[in-house]
Chain A
Amino acid sequence: MAVLVGNRVTKRFGGLEALSKIELEVEEQGIHSIIGPNGAGKTTFFNCVTGFYSPEEGEILLNGQNITGLSPDRVTHLGVSRTYQNIRLFKNMTTVENILVGMHPLLKSGLIGGILRDPRTMREEHAAVEEAKRLLQFVGLTGKGDLMAKNLPYGQQRRLEIARALASKPTLLLLDEPTAGMNPSETQEMMNFTRKLRDELGITILLIEHQMRVVMGISDLITVLDFGQKIAEGTPAEIQKNSRVIEAYLGRGAASGLGQATATA
């Protein structure tokens, strides 16, 4: 069953159609990648799913429920979590606190509980901190819990962002260029980690990625966007052979040349 369904999703900014009639189905426990040149509308699609933008037309279904136009916090409560292209941690909070904020939808204590610290609130807090430590261990940040997020090195910030996204126990995780700015060995690590998320936690993953090696290596299914249009969809092997994709990336002339090259190869 499809976890996420995009039905003719259209988003316009003034006269510009950033997304036009995008059809997308993300299968449960799959790793689905969205690729495309800069400005293709990949992040816009993420923003539509997570409620930052409200699409002008079409609908988005999460596990069969219509989430089109819901506010970001509602969408998160329904089990969608995301990371950002440029890391957006709460920089002046500690690593553990970042994760605790991520757990927000699962916790209940409010103003009165916070002041009184009644047994129920305290139990909840202790459990939350324990869970946060477990998540830190899961992403390999054990012992860094009390550091300010801004003081972590780049790669660890990426992993903390994922840990924070995991904290709300999402069914669907959107990763926006998780390997951006990483060297080959870090990239490899991130690929393995992404697989581990799916295999161990059973989370469905929708991924925006630029590095072809990563995309081809871990995706079950790839959707290619260009100028807000879906131009192709298929398995990595199919996408590699698709002439429209090559054209979008390398230009018209190259497409024919490369097409021949792949054909001969």
Chain B
Amino acid sequence: MLRKSSIWVEAIRSGLIGGAVALLLCLVGIVAALSQKMIISGVISMGQILVFAPIFIFAYTTARRAATKTVDTLLLGALAGLSSGAILTALIFLGQVINLRAMFVNASPDLYKLLNFGLTLGPGTLLLLGVAAITGLIGAVFHLIPARIRNTLSQAILWVALIGLLRDLIMTVSQSWGPAALLVKWMFAGSGLTLPGAIFLLALIGGITYWRYGRSKLTRVNKQSPKQKQWSRWGTLAVLALILILLPRILGVFFSDILDNVGIYILMGLGLNIVVGFAGLLDLGYVAFFAIGAYTMGVLTSPELAATPLTYWQALPFALGVAVLSGFVLGLPVLKMRGDYLAIVTLGFGEIVRLLVLSDWLRPWLGGTQGIQHIAHPVIGPLDFGSQQMLYYVILAGIVITTFIATRLKDSRLGRSWMALREDEDVAKAMGINHVTTKLLAFMSGAFFAGLGGTLFAAKLSSAYPQSFQFLVSINVVSLIIIGGMGSIPGVLVGGLVLMGLPEILREFAEYRYLVYGALLVAMMLTRPEGLVPEARRRLELHEEKELAPLEEPQPVLKNPGGRR
């Protein structure tokens, strides 16, 4: 606990930081850009949320850290909020005196109007200060209420905000839902949710969260017999499969296209997860294998380049073979490198491949800046997988197969060798692991899946251009692995959906994509370095039945207490 006098100083300091964050968001333009994106129509926009969320968060942490009397806590929160508001007010006044736009393009009159709630200078800034103080006060209140309510509220609010953001997607999807479509129509306005809709959702989600909070996970699992558990597992799987199969039909062409992109990234993520997550080899040039897969497919199937164009399926083994071979070629020189050095060399490799396909030198074979057009797409008998909605199924099949292979490899002798190399290379060698073949196998498996992703990418666009294989692709794949959880296969799926799916749906954010990435990565590293879905190790010694023994029963006493002899 802090000293009495210093907690007030601390509150102001923390409020100023919150204000500075809000200020930054204003000046990079994201606030103004998203001011038209309503979360609750006519009540609050995404832009306003971005201004007041940091104020709220910093007021809440102030209240939590101070841990003092109720009245003081409330005052502290309000003070923190007020300090944040002061920073924004200062911006507005400063903007009146000097032309900030010379330096900050986004410090426009529109922004000031937004912060002033559309009022004139005097009343507007007063209102801003007042709202900021109240936001801070609410932050403090949030700390004072019981944990269960706090938990419920924060979850419900986050969900409502997300649903409001995803309005377009939900509206599109719900068209085929019959009666439910009416409910959805009632909930959503032209942009964001309607006020009654938001209140309804808040109550619904809040109610569910509140109810679930009391029930511990363990008790629920224990009530089921192993057989029931297996049935429910298969049931969940079947429902999931059905949803995945119907998804492109439900979502329509536009969202299927996004789905394809997400799927290709997930495919690459699963492959890179073997290299980075399992074997701990930081590969920043992963896009190279993606490009090699796409270009091999192009060279072999495009009538422009190939004398006798192959079909997608005929070319696939060659494309994968070339990708694997290039994995081997990259692997050889970097066998002795670790960590940073490896990252730099692989990064260079990615750039070399991009520059090669871009070069005039290889233009007759690879098309140079023009790229390759008319690349074949998969066809099986009468089924043409050319459209986005159909290609989705090939990508899905690819993901299923890749997930299967990755899961099995993870718990195999080879997977253990990879992990041992990741944990301690010297000791792994001393355990009899041949680091040369083991590392090469990691690079080659990773390249295999990136190559597969590349062929699908080429098939989806029916073309391949050097611009598609920027360094940023590698960074995206690495980021989605980190966000999802290093070495975790479900983590890659979640990371892919969050990192690649959300920005595509939330087009308004597109410009600020990498700002959000950066913030997300930093936040993840600070609060949850293990990722959204951390890697779990398989249990081998005890059998599942034993672990699930109810906790009330006395645990079987170990024959050898404490493991001592």
Contact = CB atoms under 8 A, between A and B. Distances in A.
Contact of A73 (B413, B433, B537, B560): B433
Contact of B565 (A73, A94, A110, A140): A140
A140 to B, nearest CB: 5
A141 B419 CA distance: 22
A237 B427 CA distance: 36
Contacts of A132: 540-541
A97 B445 CA distance: 22
Contacts of B432: 73, 76-77, 104-105, 168
B390 interface: no
B427 A90 contact: yes
Interface stretch (B44-52, B57-65, B80-88, B404-412): B404-412
Interface in A38-80: 50-52, 71-73, 75-77
B250 to A, nearest CB: 33
B416 A115 contact: no
A129 interface: yes
A75 B434 CA distance: 11
A158 interface: no
Given A73-B430, A92-B423, A156-B563, A114 B537 contact: no
A214 interface: no
B398 to A, nearest CB: 15
Q: Which bracket fits the contact residues of B? A: 35 or more
Given A114-B409, A148-B537, A101 B431 contact: yes
Interface string B397-429: 000000001001100111111011001101111
Interface string B547-563: 00000000000111001
Interface string A88-99: 101111111100
Nearest to B407: A115
B423 A90 contact: yes
B413 A104 contact: yes
Contacts of A113: 412-413
A224 interface: no
Contact of A104 (B424, B426, B433, B564): B433
A92 B416 CA distance: 11
Interface in A124-173: 125, 129, 132-133, 136, 140-146, 148, 156, 164, 168
Given A90-B424, A143-B558, A72 B405 contact: no
A111 B558 contact: no
Contacts of A92: 419, 423, 537
B185 interface: no
Contacts of A133: 541
A110 B414 contact: yes
Given A90-B419, A164-B431, A52 B426 contact: yes
Contact of A114 (B414, B424, B435, B559): B414
B542 interface: yes
B422 to A, nearest CB: 8
Contacts of B430: 50-52, 72-73, 75-76, 82
A128 to B, nearest CB: 8
Given A96-B540, A146-B542, A109 B413 contact: yes
A114 B429 CA distance: 20
Interface string B380-408: 00000000000000000000000001001
Given A93-B419, A115-B409, A142-B560, A72 B414 contact: no
B431 A76 contact: yes
A238 B558 CA distance: 45
Contact of A72 (B412, B429, B540, B564): B429
B529 to A, nearest CB: 13
B4 interface: no
A133 B409 CA distance: 22
A6 B182 CA distance: 86
A260 B547 CA distance: 64
Contacts of B419: 90, 92-93, 97, 101
A221 interface: no
A102 interface: yes
B434 A111 contact: no
A50 B558 CA distance: 37
Contacts of B538: 94
A88 B413 CA distance: 20
A145 B540 contact: yes
B433 A142 contact: no
Given A82-B430, A101-B428, 19 more contacts: A52-B426, A73-B433, A76-B432, A88-B426, A93-B416, A93-B423, A93-B537, A94-B537, A100-B540, A101-B433, A102-B431, A104-B413, A104-B431, A109-B412, A111-B445, A142-B560, A144-B563, A145-B541, A189-B564
Interface of B: 405, 408-409, 412-417, 419-420, 423-424, 426-435, 441, 445, 537-542, 558-560, 563-565
24 contacts: A52-B430, A71-B429, A73-B430, A73-B431, A88-B424, A94-B540, A96-B540, A97-B416, A101-B420, A101-B431, A101-B433, A105-B432, A111-B409, A132-B540, A140-B563, A140-B565, A141-B563, A142-B558, A143-B541, A143-B558, A145-B542, A146-B539, A168-B432, A189-B564
The 3 closest A-B pairs by CB, nearest first: A145-B541, A114-B412, A105-B432
